[in-house]
Structure 1
Amino acid sequence: MPIINSIAAMSDDMKTWRRHLHKHPELQFDCHETARFVVDRLKEFGVTEIHEGIATSGVVAIIEGKGAGPTIGLRADMDALPIEEATGAEHASTVPGKMHACGHDGHTTMLLGAAKYLAETRNFNGRVALIFQPAEEGGGGAGVMVEEGIMDTFDIAQVFALHNVPGKDFGHVFTTPGPIMAAADTFHVHVKGKGGHGAYPHETLDPIPAALSVAQAFGTIVSRNHRSLDDLVVSVTQIHSGSADNVIPDKAYLNGTVRTFDAEVRDMVERRMGEIVRGQAESYGVEIDFTYERGYPPTINDAEATSFAADVAREVAGEDRVDAESYKEMGAEDFAYMLEARPGSYLFIGAGEGAGLHHPEFDFNDEISPIGASLLARIVETANPA
């Protein structure tokens, strides 16, 4: 079946909801006003079981179907980004330095659209758990919600999520079984030397050559320490040192990100970075403090759940508009924690042309809301037919 007619009929409502959320962005776990808006809409739809304050400002709402059956979880992220908006839109952010630059306002709207339809029709067995999550953009809100027990408390059997992608064909859905998003780790390197006059470097222990050498050596981990067919990114993204042209500083700092899919590769990178740092400290006679922080794990789709979700997407979007063997992304997503706890799938939906994610001119394409809401609703109805 194509887009659900009653969901298509609420397109204007969804646009209004989304643009309200866009005007009032909130960051990380501080999504209280967004959550209040969500709860108010759910109550209007007739949803009576609503649980608030999970992971500070998260919401889980339960809709009962017509008969017994498992619980399907549908997740939407609610938080925005610390970016100054440059869209110039009438519905632009009213909060300086904050904007919905990743489309979480749209994800929340699509789940609200699915919730309204499911609450009205209840054409499914079992239950649906509507998961409105804070702090995807750092903070790992999904992991906190899992730690606070939502999977067990609400007896969630499977969980699904959907993310918009500008620059991809409008309305096309793509996903893949197995790893779809990477683990995201962060490293910090603090180099301590001995500063002095730039004209007399022999009297100093210059931290800058040591820092540059560490950065160059980190690059060899990708080219020389791992199998070329394994996916790995090591990026040094910051180097800071010094404040004047004639002064050798006493400190330098560098940091960056590591993106992997495989646990053994992840372990190897951390081990090699430690070896490199110790060697360069000895080589340059400086002290180096090295920290490796493990962030979001890889987002790994369950093969069976992904095949199922792709079949549903073909019904909604069209047979030729679904790629169920798509490529992996080196970006990261905290939905990984939910997929570690339960089988499920993460899917992308093309939003057509527009500024990219995390760009100050990005704006969610409201025209994909009925497609996304229909896909989420049909996942429930197809998994647990009444």
Structure 2
Amino acid sequence: MLPDDLELRAAIDFRRRLHRFPELSGEERETAEAVAGQLAAYRPDRLLRGLGGHGVAAVFDAPQPGLTVLFRCELDALPIREIGEVPHRSRVEGKGHLCGHDGHAAILTVVAALLARQRPQRGRVVLLFQPAEETGAGAAAVIADPAFAAISPDYAFSLHNWPGLPLGQVALREGPVNCASRGMRIALAGRTAHASMPADGLSPMSAMARLMPALTALGTGGALGEAFRLVTVTHARLGEPAFGVAPGAGEIWATLRTLRDAAMDGLVAAAEELVAAEARAAGLGHAVAYEDVFRHCENHPEAVAVLRAALDAEGVRHQPGEPMYPSEDFGRFAAVSRSAMFFLGAGTDHPRLHNPDYDFPDELIPVGARVFLRTVRDLLG
């Protein structure tokens, strides 16, 4: 079954409406309202709202019992100013749908339209519009929501557009597909002093100067194998912006990245030991906190086999691909289902994800919808 021109036009218009009014992770209230309004037109049997924050799920039941199959997209945008000149560019200063979550959501609205025309023969389909993917908090919050127990899936599927891959082609593999990562926030505490008498205080400057290269030396990247470790210093702050005060406090932010969760445990331990030793040697207090915690994303072999069959049936070219350096919180669904994500090519010369001139290619909407709907038919009839 293919979307007709009206269904496809509605999805494109919806995608561009979301693009004009982006909302950040945890703030997707109006986006969720727009999604719920769009889904209501397709008469799902249930429409769940407020999942894990602002999440929305449309449930389409079949006449006969069977598997629960979930398809997930994302709601949130990025705190990046859009500079592209498309007519539907962001109208919210400093925020933009520069990762394609608006396009992923549009794909699921097409799936909803097609399910409204013809329900599967057995089981049920859940279309999940998930909040807060960019911070790594959304999937965990959805799964922890008591309402999720009623729609807990046997299979969970997702896609992400991928610039650099030929338009409409797919990368799909078993095993790890996205890295584990987390943001490490290091606070160092000394003692301020007058800038004319710095010896009266205790500055963290020297400790910070040593820590930043030492942290990056813990993980220098390279090939995405089992030993892969990467530490990227992303932000540093020393004291206050004042000429009369010698600094007494500082912060370093770093992103830690490994291929698998188990390796992350070792990298975290090494980084914390390094921070503690440097602080101790300098006589500084220190504290470590973590944000944007992503588990690694691993594709289940059975779920991958289902997607491969759907891609073949729909004539979509695909290749195994390699694991991706970026993180993705869809990995959380592996704990509750057989899950798999594929990467849908946005074009070899397309602006990269999170670039300020990125825009989702509308040509991908029918491709993603066809693959997902074929997956429904193969699993549920």
Tell me: CA distance 1:263–1:56, structure 2 relative to 1, closer, same or farther (3 Å): closer
Q: Is contact 2:171–2:318 with CA below 8 Å preserved after alignment?
A: yes
1:167-215 C-alpha deviation (Å, 9 max, x unpaired): 2210011122121112221212222334557787666544211112122
1:113 corresponds to: 110
Which of 243, 265, 275 is the equivalent residue of 1:267?
Answer: 265
Any idea what the Cα deviations from partners look like across 1:32-87, whole Å, max 9, x if unmatched? 33223222322322323212222232111111234331110011111212222211
Read off the aligned partner of 1:288 and give its amino acid letter.
H
Q: Distance in 2 between matches of 1:10 and 1:155?
A: 28
Shift of 1:120: 0.4
Name the structure 2 match of 1:51.
Answer: 48
Residue identity opposite 2:282 in structure 1: Y
> In structure 2, what is the Cα distance between the partners aligned to 1:157 and 1:360?
37
User: Which residue of 292, 298, 320 corresponds with 2:296?
Assistant: 298
Return closer, same or farther for 1:109/1:361 CA change in 2, 3 Å cut-off. same
Aligned residue in 1 for 2:277: 279
AA aligned to 1:146 is I
Q: Aligned partner of 1:249: which letter? A: P
Distance (Å, rounded) in 2 between the aligned partners of 1:166 and 1:114:
23
Are residue 369 (structure 1) and residue 365 (structure 2) matched?
yes
The Cα of 1:370 is off from its aligned counterpart by: 0.3
**Local SS of the residue matching 1:346:** strand
Instruction: Provide the C-alpha distance between the structure 1 equivalents of 2:2 and 2:300, rounded to a whole number of angstroms.
Output: 30
Q: Number of paired residues?
A: 377
User: Is the deviation greater in 279-288 or in 50-59?
Assistant: 279-288
Residue in 2 aligned with 1:144?
Answer: 141
**2: distance between equivalents of 1:255 and 1:231?**
20
Q: Which runs of 5+ in 1 are unaligned?
A: none
Q: Distance in 2 between matches of 1:229 and 1:141?
A: 27
Quickly say closer, same or farther: Cα 1:108–1:203, change in 2 above 3 A: same
Cα drift, residue 254 of structure 1: 0.9
* 1:207-246 paired onto structure 2 within 5 Å: 207-222=204-219, 229-242=226-239, 243=241
Deviation at 1:117, TM superposition (A): 0.8
Alpha-carbon contact 2:162-2:345 (below 8 Å) kept: yes
Residues in 2 aligned to 1:34 and 1:282: alpha-carbon distance in whole angstroms: 47
Per the alignment, in what secondary structure is the counterpart of residue 16 of structure 1?
helix
Q: Is the 2:187–2:251 contact (alpha carbons within 8 Å) kept by the matching residues of 1?
A: yes
After TM superposition, give the deviation of residue 244 of structure 1 in Å. Answer: 6.3
Does residue 315 of structure 1 match 2:310?
no
Residue 294 of structure 1, CA deviation: 7.2
Query: What is the one-letter code of the residue matched to 1:71?
Result: T
* Aligned mate of 2:101, from 82, 104, 111: 104
Matching residue within 15, 20, 23 for 1:18: 15
Tell me the CA shift for residue 96 of structure 1.
2.5
1:95/1:312 Cα in 2 relative to 1: closer, same or farther (>3 Å)?
Answer: same
Which of 120-129 and 361-370 deviates more? 120-129
Where does residue 189 of structure 2 map in the other structure?
Answer: 192
Counterpart AA for 1:380: V
Distance 1:6 1:248, change over 3 A: closer
Please give the alpha-carbon distance, in whole angstroms, between the structure 1 residues aligned to 2:200 and 2:53. Answer: 54
Q: Is the 8 A contact 2:235 2:253 kept in 1?
A: yes
What is the alpha-carbon distance in structure 1 between the residues aligned to residue 252 and residue 302 of structure 2? 42
Counterpart CA distance in 2 for 1:230 and 1:310 is 29
Q: For 1:149-180, what per-residue CA distance to the aligned partner results, in whole angstroms no more than 9, with x for missing partners? A: 45531242111011111222100111221211
Name the residue aligned to 1:348: 343
TM-score (norm 2): 0.90
Letter of the 2:309 partner, please give it.
D
Mind listing any 5+ residue stretches in structure 2 that lack a counterpart? none
Larger deviation: 129-138 or 144-153?
144-153
Following the alignment from structure 1 to structure 2, what is the Cα–Cα distance between the partners of residues 277 and 222?
Answer: 15
**Structure-2 change in CA distance of 1:60 and 1:236 (3 Å):** same
* 1:256 alignment counterpart: 254
* Mapped partners of 2:42, 2:182: distance in 1: 41
Instruction: Give the CA RMSD over aligned residues.
Output: 2.5
Conserved 8 A contact 1:198-1:247:
yes
Partners of 2:229 and 2:267 within 8 A in 1: no
Alpha-carbon distance in structure 2 between the residues aligned to 1:191 and 1:170: 47
Aligned equivalents of 2:29 and 2:204: distance in 1?
A: 45
Report what 1:382 is aligned to. 378
Q: Which amino acid aligns with 1:268?
A: G
What is the CA–CA distance in structure 1 between the aligned matches of 2:23 and 2:246, rounded to whole Å? 42
Q: Which residue of 2 aligns with 1:126?
A: 123
- The residue that corresponds to 2:328 in the other structure is 333
- Taking the aligned partners of 1:285 and 1:20, their CA distance within structure 2 comes to 54
Structure 2 counterpart of 1:76: 73
Q: Do the aligned partners of residues 292 and 200 (structure 1) sit closer, same or farther apart at CA in structure 2, a change above 3 Å counting?
A: same
Structure 1 residue 312, shift from structure 2 partner: 1.2
Superposition deviation, residue 280 in structure 1: 1.4
Report % sequence identity.
30
* Deviates most, 118-127 or 172-181: 118-127
**Pair 1:27-2:24 in alignment:** yes
Offset of 1:292 from its aligned partner?
4.4
Q: Secondary structure of 2:357's partner?
A: coil
TM-score in terms of structure 1 length: 0.89
- Look up the SS of the partner of 1:12 in the other structure: helix
1:99, distance to aligned residue in structure 2 (A): 1.7
